Amino acid sequence: MSEQNYSLQEAILYSHKMAQLSKAVWKQIEKDWQNWVKPFDLNLNEHHILWICYHLDGASISEISKFGIMHVSTAFNFSKKLEERKLLTFSKREEDKRNTYIELTESGKHLFEETMEAHAQGTDKNTVMQASLPLKDLYGRFPEFQELEAIVKEIYGEEYLDILDRSIASIKAEY
Amino acid sequence: MSEQNYSLQEAILYSHKMAQLSKAVWKQIEKDWQNWVKPFDLNLNEHHILWICYHLDGASISEISKFGIMHVSTAFNFSKKLEERKLLTFSKREEDKRNTYIELTESGKHLFEETMEAHAQGTDKNTVMQASLPLKDLYGRFPEFQELEAIVKEIYGEEYLDILDRSIASIKAEY
């Protein structure tokens, strides 16, 4: 890692721009996501848990916390609520007794699939995706954001991108 | 805007990746920002209000709401708290009686400058900036994220980037 290989002005300008752009994009995604899953009586965290478990074919609380970027207690509490609704089950694994694993029930899988159905019917409400179409028209594909990936890898570790790759592979197999 | 010029798979993959990357980056920025301004008895929204007023040399509540990506009532309520601490003042302008304008007091400016001083002393705690240094080493400068800018412009309008440019110009003049 470079030691002070930057001026204070560069650092402030860059941080300011990153804060403004990432807040703008994330807040819009958050808003759309909430609107999308609300009719299913789910909040964003609950849907994110279903999403992760569905695409990773079961996950531990710590994987959900890491990949979902939510506190372990948040991951646990919302999973608990979904368990009460019989959408998932908790279990321990023989080879790893310390972690709690989560698996979707049939009705959990079904509900998740219904949300994806609703998304497919309403991609016009996906603001960030819609706002990216001019770039797609220009490039022939959606932007890749490899620099953003590199930054996320530095912060969250290789593992984060590995889980992202696994969930992307699962989506590719599905749709 | 293109009409369905994308497959469902592309749309889901892209949205998923954008959600994961922007959540990851924004949550880290949020955490660092909170830690940074906490010693000054400020929360992120309050500091963002000071930031915007300082660099735009006064701003209306609606500008703060727009550029700070916070609800108008959030912008107003936190501004009110800062006013109670005598860090800013509310006023109306002769040419625009409908909007409430905010200006930092001397002690507001001073407090903001102190927070920037603390940031300058602790850039090692700015995780996203640090995590971007390998890219800076590679390119000779921090990444520009022009695609992200284009997306934000589509969503929030030209005005958002204009305000960003104004605040960037002010930072350049300052440091």
8-state DSSP, B40: G
Strand residues in chain A grouped as ranges (E) = 59-60, 88-93, 96-104
Does the pLDDT of residue B174 top 50, yes or no? yes
Name the pTM for this structure: 0.92
Give the type of residue at A110.
H
Q: B30 — phi, psi (to 5°)?
A: -60, -45
Chain B residues in contact with A50 (beta carbon < 8 A): none
Does the pLDDT of residue A2 top 50, yes or no? no
CB contact under 8 A, B148 and A149: no
The count of other CB atoms within 10 Å of the CB of residue B70 is: 20
Residue of chain B whose alpha carbon sits nearest to that of A15: B129
CB contact under 8 A, B171 and A33: no
Closest-CA distance of chain A to residue B21, Å: 7
Q: What is the mean pLDDT of residues A90-117?
A: 92
**Which carries the bigger pLDDT value, residue B8 or residue A86?**
A86
A129: nearest CB among B11, B129, B141: B11
Helix (H, G, I), strand (E, B) or coil at A93: strand
Closest-CA distance of chain B to residue A26, Å: 5
Residue of chain A whose alpha carbon sits nearest to that of B33: A19
Does the pLDDT of residue B3 top 70, yes or no? no
**What Å distances lie between residue B12 and A42, A128, B164, CA to CA?**
19, 12, 30
Handedness of CA A96, A156, A29, B45 (dihedral sign): positive
